[in-house]
Structure 1
Amino acid sequence: MLSPIPHLNILLVEDNLPDAILIAKHLSKIEKPRLSLCHVSTCREAVRCLEEEKFDVILLDLSLPDSFQLDTVKKISAEAENTAIIILTGLDDEKVALDSLREGAQDYLVKNEINSTVLKKAICYAIERKKQVRHLKHLVDILLDSNRKLEDYARQVSHDLKQPLQTILGSGKLIGYLEENAGEKTRQLLNMLVNSAEKMSDMIEALLSACRVGGEDEKEWLDCERIIKEVLELLGEQIRAKGAKITINFPAKFRPVMVYYNRVQLERVWQNLISNAIKYVPEDRKPEVAIAAEKHQNQWLFMISDNGIGIKETDYEKVFLANQRLSEGEKMAKGSGMGLAICKQIIEDNGGRIWVQSSIYQGSTFFFTIPTRS
């Protein structure tokens, strides 16, 4: 509350003199804390005052002769990013109020509803909100810095671990080529060595990807079908080796399907889902993967269906947990157990959700949503 603060410096930006006099009168009735008031009538004068003096609160009219509504808020907020701003207006306009708050103001008062009690309460709450915003910004800065350090560390650890791994992997394969006459036991041990090294390499990549997810926030408009086709090119070797058939069925009337997303994250989601759909298919059939999309009121719904081994209903939630590999899938393909956990983290961080429906030995359909953006 304001009582512990002995003195507040207030800047009143108001071009209507009768309104300014009335607000000053209301402020004079506030006994604690002691207030100092500086009055200017233009945005230009306000900026100059803010450059020369520190203020605790700005009472800001939205209809100034040299600036208007949100432009005024933007200019003053940019000049006084650490100062609480209370908007004053003669209009009871909820949209203007909300827009002002988004641009950096802490409160909004209609002039004909103002009295000393209302002003004191508004000033109190505005200062407290601004303190909380500054504190949250400080915490965000700390978290972002920690995330950058974590990513740098993960990248370095990944690099340091992968160098000896590649040596082990290369040596194991080379010994296998050289020892054509090696006994069955030797070949089994070599295969175990190579498979373990490849699995460890996959795990390192997956852990590095998990560290990167939180640090990728740059978004852009993306053509989802184009992203999928780029991912299919990356998975070309896996697709050819398995003889997989991939179909994309997006509604013609909504093409191109545009989403506002981080490119790297969207590629990672599609790559993990498509790769899994190809990977976990019984040996007696060729993978068939169908990708579809539906437009709903406020989101896109994407579906990726396969003809794989399927997932038990009791495991629907478990597949999205980190380091979880179901026994049926583990027999068929090696992996890190991180792919779907990373997909879930990315999708939920972007306001969507992901789930699965499946039939054992018939196939699975993974669903995920991306909110639409106007």
Structure 2
Amino acid sequence: MNTASISILLVEDSPSDAKLLQQTLWHLGGERWQVLQFERLSDAVDACSKSTFDVVLLDLSLPDSEGLNTIAEFHAAVPNIPIVVLTGFDDEDIALQAVAKKAQDYLVKGQITPNLLMRTIRYAMERGQIVKQLRESERRLRGIFEQTFQSMVLLTPEGIVLEINQTALNLCDSQQQDCVGKPLWELKNWSHSSGNQEWFKTVIAKAADGEFVRQELQVCGANDVIVWIDFSLKPLKDETGKVVLLIVEGRDMSDRKRAEAEVVKAWEQERELNEMKSSFVSMVSHEFRNPMTVIRTAVELLELYNQQLTEQQKSKYFGKIQTAIRHMLQLLDEVLFLGRSDVGKLQCEPTLLNLENFCSELTQSLQLSANSKHEIIFSFQGEQTSVEVDENLLRFILTNLLSNAIKYSPQGGTIRFDVICEDDTATFQIQDFGIGIPLKDQQRLFETFHRATNVGSIPGTGLGLSIVKKCVDLHQGQIQLESQVGVGTTFTIKLPLNNHGILPSLELVGSYWDSQKLA
């Protein structure tokens, strides 16, 4: 140790004791020491802000400070200078308490020899340097521990929390005092279920035996949001191989999990889209083939046997051709409508409409096209007849539901069509007494291409009701279904009236449904 550069701060209010210490240092080589003396603690602290000292010789009995508190006050003000206590009592308890208060060593007045003073100053400075290095090392490690983006928790081998960094506290929206000293499985955010608690106990026991544990885990984050973390538990061993510490690390992987879920969702959508395309091609092929076969057969018969056919027979074949053409046009209209609605190009455009006249004329048109075995009974209730709705969308809703009521009542019978117009809502109810819809099919009835399992050979595309649902949604309305197999089916539609908040159409429907006819 190069003592030539040692600067000593002497805090001693006894002139005789101060002079004795300076004489002792002089005998050790006066040129090696730079001694600055103060009688008051406050003056010594002020001096430390202006000059640098290697060690302080601190008396415990000063005019402005007394006893062991003198050490605490000086260390709090100047934590980086090693302290050697000067005391008049050769008391080991006082010495131990002084060291506990951050002093490096102590000297008993009247027993100070040159060699003892030299050795004490040297050891105090060496220990002070070691403490400084440890403090700096702790500061760096603390900085890493607190600033890392990973959640970190230090546990005893029994699972008691010793330290928890800010990232982990932020993750679970907790405070240090809520976590330190508690078993990890009792932290509410890390163990949101009894299953998690038991799992923590099990893996902590494994880690205490030296096993490394890693698993993807769900914990309860801030605002009770479930967070996915990449959890690991590492045992830290001493030189004998004994586990003395458990290190918990948790990396938030919620974004990755969400991305994986999006990929899976996209894959499922792609698979469903491919299945839908396949169903669509199959359906269109089947639905077009039948009317085309009817048209071809009728045309061939008219060409080959035109002279032999009576006018009544010719009219019959022409009627079949017209029916087949109408069926094909209806299918094309449904596909076109479905495509426009799926890309968001078709929205609701309300216009003023006499609802009673509209529904009455629609009923008459469908009655003319229906089999004579079916009777549509129409009733209208309400004083308000002129309302704002999208006429074209409403036409499809009612035409499709009434047509289905006719089609799925093969034995004929009565079909009730009731309209109630009151306040700001129009309620449409269509009731048949046909084959009904099985309960297992009712939940999926509005899905594209889905048809009830009991329709048998009754023709249909599976598009109609899905489009009806879209039309109702465009009106911001509601549709309900009640059905029982063998008893009948009732559809109830509620549409808001005079709703100026409905967005106008991006593409006018125009005369889109002008050609719509009953298949």
Q: Which has the higher contact order (CA 8 A, sep 6+)?
A: 1
Choose 1 or 2 for highest CA Rg: 2
TM-score for both structures, normalised by structure 1: 0.47
